[in-house]
Amino acid sequence: MTHPTRTSNPPDSRHRLGPAMTTPVPEPVAVGDAELDTLIRTRLALVGVDLTQLPTEPDPATGSPTQAQAYASLRTFLAGPLVDGVRQGGALQALARWTPPAPSPELAQQEAAPSLYPSITAAWTEQWPVRR
């Protein structure tokens, strides 16, 4: 039984060693700056980073970013630039949706991990020849 949030790749998939499982990328949900700030604070707090340690006013002597600059930069990274009041999708969304422009042998080698017993793996997949 497969996991309910996962789907099998189609037969024309680049994966060579059987039905690979991939998690579909959900459609982006519009969130406001307040929600993004909460996400940023929470995620950074989990790794021990506190943005309140940054100055609130610019300091030309040190060049460190202000709290507002750090939040603005992180919001843009996560959800994209603010255009006409709507964020257009950030770097994470672009990375999640990236696919290679064309199949290549190098990529196929990376996707098809070596297996200890390839004949058994092939028997579990559609690669096994059907004898009639």
Q: Which tokens go with 45?
A: 């707090």
Return the pLDDT at 111: 67
pLDDT > 70 fraction of the chain, expressed in percent and rounded: 57
Model's pTM, two decimal places? 0.52
Quick one: pLDDT band at residue 7, thresholds 50, 70, 90? very low
Q: Residues near 79 by Cβ (< 8 Å), separated by ≥ 6?
A: 31, 36, 87, 89, 90
Three state DSSP letters for 61-109? CCCCCCHHHHHHHHHHHHHCCEECCEECCCHHHHHHCCCCCCCCHHHHH
The answer to whether 102 and 6 are in contact (CB under 8 A) is: no
- pLDDT tens digits along 96-116: 676 777 777 777 666 666 777
Average pLDDT over residues 10-23: 46
Q: Does the pLDDT value for residue 126 go beyond 70? A: no
Residue 58's CB: how many other CB atoms inside 10 A? 13
pLDDT digits over 62-91, tens only?
999 999 999 999 999 988 888 888 887 777
